[in-house]
Chain A
Amino acid sequence: MKIGLLVNPVAGAGGRIGLKGSDDVDAVLKKGGRPSSPVIAEKFCGFIGREMEIITCSSSMGRDYINGRVVYEVNGKTTAKDTIKACRAFVKHGADLIVFVGGDGTARDVYGAVGKDVPILGVPAGVKMYSSVFALNAEKAAHVVREFAEGKTELMEREIMDVDEEAFRNDMLKIKLHGFALVPSLRHFIQNGKKMFAGEEHAKREVAEFMALVYKRGTCILGPGSTVKAIADEMGVEKTLLGVDVVRDGKIIARDAGEREILDAMNGSARIVVSPMGGNNFIFGRGNQQISARVIKKAGIENVTVVATPAKMMEAPFLYVDAGDEAMNKKLAGWRQVIVGYGMAVRKKVLF
């Protein structure tokens, strides 16, 4: 079992000076921002213990914190390119899991480098952490890594999301979905420690078979994500994985649509199907902001269906909504059914 460990040495620097991110490293450091990643990296390495085989980067990207074999040398100031190159080196050296200390920006870079080839796990140290690839804290992350090494975890698809920092500084929250990484998840949360279902793929297929029957006729707005995409596959329409698509009577009429296009494509009410996104499981407002409060209002709030896999719902005590409109958030909040199988739902409380 080989773990690739990489630390983004500047992660978290923007947070304390209210910059809402550290993408522009120079500006952040100039204003006196101090990264949080070194402290967190040290904590994580303390929890992880010595018996694991670790490959890592030189100096502040790894070797400063852990006694691992260096497979990537850092030269001078580190950038996103170093993250990407280091991850590629980890893959080349046979890493079974890549652990990174950072935030959403680091997650994006790691995912960009390895995709779904190798599972990844984030140790939270960033300012923005909308992606759902992070463990709760350094200690929990070390626990997941140990369980992974013992084959006691299950790989789940998790969203890689990031905020447009420039827009964020201007008080606009634009969160984009960049893709789905594979992340080890503790089986502790699976009921009775036994699988009720054959796994994520089977569960998605069950949800898809059921929902495709419901959506046979009429207009429906399909949110991003692989659970919703499975429904489209079952309906025989080719849906984008990361975008919002509109389907009418089984045919796609708008692909990867923005808010305007969705509104234009609707004639009257429509069904909306979304899957909870990001670390906090938002049903609206994270990675699917195209489905705005206006779209939901036009479609009819009673026509919103939330779908997810049972394993994902077992880890989600609550769901959240951030439709960008207080009144709409209020209407969407409260107890809601989430379809998790063929003719099967769980009840979850939606908060805002």
Chain B
Amino acid sequence: MVRKIMLDENEMPKKWYNIQADVALPPHLHPATREPIKPEDMKPIFPDAIIKQEGSRERWIPIPEEVMEIYRIWRPTPLYRAENLEKYLKTPAKIFFKWEGVSPPGSHKPNTAVAQAYYNAMEGVERLTTETGAGQWGSALAFATKMFDMKCTVYMVKCSYEQKPYRRILMQTWGADVVASPSERTEFGKKIREEMPSTPGSLGIAISEAIEDAVKDERAKYSLGSVLNHVVLHQSIIGLEIKEQFRKIDVKPDIIAGCVGGGSNFSGGVFPFVPNKMRGEEIKFIAAEPTACPTLTKGLYTYDFGDTAKQTPLLKMHTLGHDFIPPAIHAGGLRYHGDAPALCKLVDDGIIEARAYHQNEVFKAATIFARTEGFVIAPESAHGLKAAMDGAIKCRETGEEKVICFVNSGHGHFDLSSYNLYNNGVLQDYEYPEELIREAMKNLS
């Protein structure tokens, strides 16, 4: 068996797969009228091409050559067989992982960042604003905007800004203007700082700031790194490559797992396989999230805002509430109160399963992975790994030779202080106190 399955540059998919062709999604609603949102409503923040993709039901959308050219810097990415891990787990299962850590920013995020920067540049936008939690998305957009000679302003969640100086330096190296959020740059940021001077910040707050900044400057637009349909569309290149790679070795995956923050990495890896499952093929999809921010496992499936200031359209998704500020866990990229609507719909339909994991068990899995496969992966990605390892352990018990694949979304080279806490046994297992929250909410009304 080969160790890694590669594709040539000319084998890279030339079209993205759009899940909306196969799954009817509830429309996004206007925050004020609560009516389905119209394309013109999104004009202040997104370019026309992106707005069109957000609502498109075309199954295949061509990837522009300019985007392909930049993708070729690191794509196609390898699909690895994790044989050492299999041996360690003494499992008859075959474990594969799609390695997205080879991109310049070190994660899957540039798959959409490059596309979004391109469409904005084509429509004359000079600056993109965005938010970032762990810094993965911010560095992806900082890199992508530089490729198209644009400016980039990144509102970085304050606790990450302080905890992850290297991610900040990376963004600045690509020329981005990085601001700790809540900041003094926006009215909303000022308001939050006044009300909660010591808040660690949240993705929801940072999104609000980035949107406000973009709306106020006609030469700027906003860019979101997850959740929305067009983001999920761009990420489909992950799953399309996986499909092609498995086809090359004539193997069919039985389980595909991945981590979920806003859901773009997971959706990117899994959605191209969803039609197969709809056609009756036996394949299991496992979405792995942190117990500290358990949107899919504990959230309500309902319409909610994407940000704290309630500026975004209302999205139908599994949500913990737009005002929920998750604990500062080390998989910072998974700290978001909601999830991609398409992913939520498929979880609600029972096509995708969701599971929540604690920080310590996730780091334990990541450490085993580092010691068997060599790669030190992001704590976010390790949630997907944990789900895959659990599946493999189950196979050890049942004797099944299942093919398990997980999307390994990025490297953990900027997360070593978190590994250090785990190594020293002082990493905390955060949880979402569901019952008490329910009670508190009851008393609030």
Contacts and interface: CB of A to CB of B under 8 A. Distances in A.
B26 interface: no
B432 A346 contact: no
Interface string A217-239: 10000000000000000000000
Interface stretch (A140-148, A324-332, A336-344): A336-344
A317 to B, nearest CB: 7
Interface residues of B, number: 33
Contacts of A313: 428
A339 B435 CA distance: 12
A347 B443 contact: no
Given A191-B426, A344-B327, A196 B443 contact: no
Contacts of A347: 291, 358, 429-431
Given A189-B426, A192-B163, A343 B440 contact: yes
A213 interface: yes
Given A194-B163, A214-B436, A317-B425, A345 B431 contact: yes
Given A213-B444, A214-B443, A343-B440, A192 B417 contact: yes
Nearest to B165: A194
A305 B291 CA distance: 19
B198 A314 contact: no
A216 B425 CA distance: 37
B430 A343 contact: no
B418 A210 contact: no
A202 B195 CA distance: 13
Contacts of B326: 344
Contact of B440 (A192, A193, A210, A341): A210
A217 B358 contact: no
Chain A: interface size category: 20 to 34
Nearest to A341: B327
Given A196-B159, A314-B426, A342 B325 contact: yes
Interface in B410-433: 417-418, 421, 425-433
A197 interface: yes
Contacts of A340: 327
B39 interface: no
B328 interface: yes
Contact of B418 (A192, A198, A343, A344): A192
A191 B440 contact: no
A119 to B, nearest CB: 22
Interface string A182-210: 00000001011110111100100000001
Is the contact region of chain B dominated by helix, strand, or loop, or is it mixed? loop
Interface in A270-326: 305, 310, 313-314, 317
A197 B198 contact: yes
Contacts of A191: 328, 330, 421, 426-428
A343 B429 contact: no
A271 to B, nearest CB: 10
A332 B421 CA distance: 28
Contacts of A339: 433, 436
B71 interface: no
B412 to A, nearest CB: 14
A143 to B, nearest CB: 16
B437 interface: yes
B148 to A, nearest CB: 34
Interface in B315-339: 324-328, 330
A193 B159 CA distance: 12
Contacts of A346: 428-431
B426 A343 contact: no
B197 interface: yes
Nearest to B291: A347
A194 B162 CA distance: 7
A339 B327 CA distance: 11
B433 A213 contact: no
A202 B427 CA distance: 21
A334 to B, nearest CB: 14
B44 interface: no
B16 to A, nearest CB: 37
Interface string B275-292: 000000000000000011
B396 to A, nearest CB: 25
Nearest to B161: A194
A337 B436 CA distance: 11
Interface in B322-364: 324-328, 330, 358
A193 B164 CA distance: 11
Contacts of A343: 324, 432-433, 436-437, 440
A341 B159 CA distance: 15
Contacts of B69: none
B200 interface: yes
A111 B421 CA distance: 33
A20 B444 CA distance: 50
A217 B445 CA distance: 13
A337 B433 contact: yes
A192 B163 CA distance: 6
A198 B433 contact: no
Contacts of A192: 163, 417-418, 421
Contacts of B418: 192
Contacts of A202: 198
A314 B324 CA distance: 22
A342 B430 CA distance: 12
Interface string B168-208: 00000000000000000000000000000110100000000
Nearest to A302: B435
Contacts of B417: 192-193
Contacts of B443: 213-214, 216-217
B439 interface: yes
Given A189-B426, A345-B431, A213 B440 contact: yes
Given A194-B162, A196-B159, A213-B443, A345 B426 contact: no
Nearest to B329: A191
A180 to B, nearest CB: 22
A337 B417 CA distance: 25
A189 B429 CA distance: 14
A194 B158 CA distance: 11
Contacts of B440: 210, 213-214, 343
A344 B434 CA distance: 9
Interface in B276-316: 291-292
Contacts of B197: 198
A189 B428 CA distance: 11
Contacts of A305: 436
Nearest to A189: B426
Contact of A314 (B428, B433, B439): B428
Contacts of B163: 192, 194
A311 to B, nearest CB: 11
A214 B428 contact: no
A276 to B, nearest CB: 14
CB-CB nearest 6 A-B residue pairs: A198-B198, A213-B440, A347-B429, A216-B443, A345-B433, A345-B431
Given A213-B443, A314-B426, 11 more contacts: A191-B328, A191-B427, A192-B417, A210-B440, A213-B440, A314-B428, A341-B327, A343-B437, A344-B327, A346-B428, A346-B430
10 contacts: A189-B426, A193-B417, A198-B198, A202-B198, A211-B436, A214-B440, A337-B433, A343-B433, A344-B432, A345-B431
